[in-house]
Amino acid sequence: MSKTPVMRTCSVCRTKDNKRQLTRLVHTAEGIIIDPTGKLNGRGAYLCTQPACWERASSTDILNRALRTALTEADRTRLRQAAL
């Protein structure tokens, strides 16, 4: 019996893809961080690899609802740096 891949949705463009193909962002006490393992505790959201999605995530409030928080300027800077 083969395993069905775990699917997730990009919080910006709403495309669905395999969990491992998307990048997980986590809301923690330290702020919004990138979770390369996909296993950190905290409220999570996913972004695809499209540069436009990362730009929109860092420049708008689209992640606020998904992560149930308000992104700080430090969070936005981390997202912009990660997009590079």
List the chain residues with pLDDT less than 50. none
CA distance 35 to 28: 11
The model's pTM: 0.88
DSSP line for 12-65? TT--EEEGGGSEEEEEETTEEEEESSS--SSEEEEE-S-HHHHHHHHHSSHHHH
Domain containing 41 equals 7-83
**pLDDT reported for residue 26:** 95
User: What is the CATH number for 57?
Assistant: 3.30.1230.10
Q: Is residue 2 part of a domain?
A: no
Structural domain count of the chain: 1
73 inside domain: yes
Answer yes or no: is 1 within a domain.
Answer: no
- Residue 1: per-residue pLDDT: 62
Helix (H) or strand (E) holding 66: helix 62-67
